[in-house]
Amino acid sequence: MYFCCFNNVSFAVNASFWEQIKEPSDEPVQSIGSYANGCLAGAHALPVEGVGYQVIRPERARYYGHQASIDFIESFASQFQQQTNKQLLIGDMSLAQGGRFSFGHSSHQNGLDIDIWFRLEETRLSSDELADPQAISLIDEKQYQANESNWQDEHFQMVKLAASNPEVARIFVHPIIKQKLCNVESSTNREWLRKVRPWWGHHVHMHVRLDCLGVTIAAGLKLFLRLEMVVVKNSRVGSLRKVSRCLSQRVINRKQCRSCQSSV
């Protein structure tokens, strides 16, 4: 069912309602609602280590996603390692059943958003380094220009490879990074740059957003009824309102979804 027994839910201080849910539902995988107002049925967990990547801060359990997200990361990381011999660091994805984080993002709610750090490694990090990773910035904020000492050719390859994937709808990076990518691209193939959108704050990672996969009324209504019983029982009225907002957008097709793709 959509919520595990409350005996298995930890109520951490300041955790959002969704962060208290530790297991995915046993429903078929489905992204419900929008990127910034949604939830996730039948989530899959990305293995914390795989070919060409590691998950940072795994204790936060933000490594869940739609199966399409898992497939994308595993394929992308493998391709990137073959091309550059570098390891990727995977940041926030989604929670076990999606929904809002208590901090860090307003999106990442329906299993289709992925943060991939610009810090590239030739060797794997230790468990201690993964728990408290040190980021690198690709911009000099004081001079408002690219940080050339941190910029590598692999960063260009990284963004271009991701943007060239047909499953990718958008990639958010800092405006200075978008400008740098436009300047570096010397070929006539510039169509991929249309997917790269300037967005403040994205200078230590790129935010990859996969295209919408659609939802159904039946899945949304079934989720609502189950959540309503659990939430009312536990007097979580605010969370119930949140779920209602999520499900108000439960019928989404690709055209409708594109209107919300700028939400980060």
Q: What is the pLDDT of residues 227-246, one digit of tens each?
A: 545 544 554 444 444 444 44
pLDDT in tens, 37-88: 899 999 999 999 999 999 999 999 999 999 999 999 999 999 999 999 999 9
pLDDT in tens, 34-48: 898 899 999 999 999
Please tell me what DSSP assigns to residue 66: -
**Rounded to an integer, what distance in angstroms lies between the CA atom of residue 148 and that of residue 210?**
29
Spell out where 128-173 has E strands.
139-140, 145-146, 168-173
> In 3D, which of 106, 110, 131, 102 has the Cα closest to residue 19?
102
Question: What does the angle CA 153 – CA 158 – CA 161 come to, to the nearest 5 degrees?
Answer: 120
DSSP string covering 26-43, please? Answer: SSPPEEEEETTEEEEES-
